[in-house]
Amino acid sequence: MNYLKLSLSIFFVFIFTNSVFCQLITHPDIDPILIQQNYIKWLDYNSENILLSRNFIPLNEESQQIEKKTFLELLTTSAYIPLVMQATDDKLYYKLYKIQPTADSSISATISQMAFEELTHLNMEGTVFPKFDSNDINGHHISNETFKDRFVIIKCWYIHCAACIREFPEVNDIVRKTTKRKDVFFLSLAEDTPEQLKMFLKKKPLLYEVVPNMKRYMNETLQLNSFPTHFIINKKGVIVKVVSDVKSLKEALIENKLL
């Protein structure tokens, strides 16, 4: 009898909670059909509104909250697009919507690739940053011990990566804004040689410590396949966040009270 009462209580609490949760969510901020009419229209919306690296509340097709990992895994199937939901609270909600059969296949392919990349990043978070031991372009030794008991912001890049170079002014601005913090260390890992980097950085300065010849380490140890990639590492050497653009980096730094 007591077991039945407990079961009923749990059931009604679940129904009530789900009902309240659904009342918070109203509708998507754009027509799910309209946004799929062509690739450019979807791309414009996605670029302005969707950042899979952000801390958001993931919803399935029935507006039920699911794990972020599950949400990303479903996006990799090329069957869904994520849309921002209007809500009565101040939280950010992304909901899955089915991709229309008539939609440009480039939409599903791009979403799948973006989700796969973010899923890879998500799986790295909470793990210890791999052993690191090298010299910067000026010959100074740098290893995990160098930034022990400090937060580390790492930028992975190479000279011929246009997206990597484009964000230099913004990442430099981040460094300037944190100059008073002695517990934050900025490190960049580059594929190129010291000579190439010194010549390049005279024209395009980067306010990070720069470590050259890191292609093998980034490809094999970090297993990166897209650039730029940014890591935020806590004082214990654990990866807190992995993102692929400076906008996401700024948000992550703010969320972690580093900016």
Q: Mind giving me the DSSP string for 32-84?
A: TTGGGS-HHHHHHHHHHH--TTS--EEE-TTS-B--HHHHHHHHTTTSEEEEE
To the nearest whole percent, how much of the chain has pLDDT over 90? 79
Please give the average per-residue pLDDT across 195-209, as a whole number: 97
Nearest Cα neighbor of 9 from 49, 17, 169 is 17
pLDDT in tens, 52-68: 988 899 999 999 999 99
Show me where the domains of the chain are located: 2-124, 133-255
Q: What is the pLDDT of residues 132-161, one digit of tens each?
A: 999 999 999 999 999 889 999 999 999 999
- How many C-beta neighbours within 10 Å does residue 54 have? 15
Contact predicate 198/137, CB 8 Å: yes
If one counts every other C-beta atom within 10 angstroms of the C-beta of residue 1, the result is: 5
Query: Domain 133-255's class?
Result: alpha beta
Confidence band of 11 (pLDDT split at 50, 70, 90)? very low
Q: Tally Cβ neighbours within 10 Å of residue 71.
A: 24
pLDDT tens, position by position, 28-50: 888 999 999 999 999 999 999 99
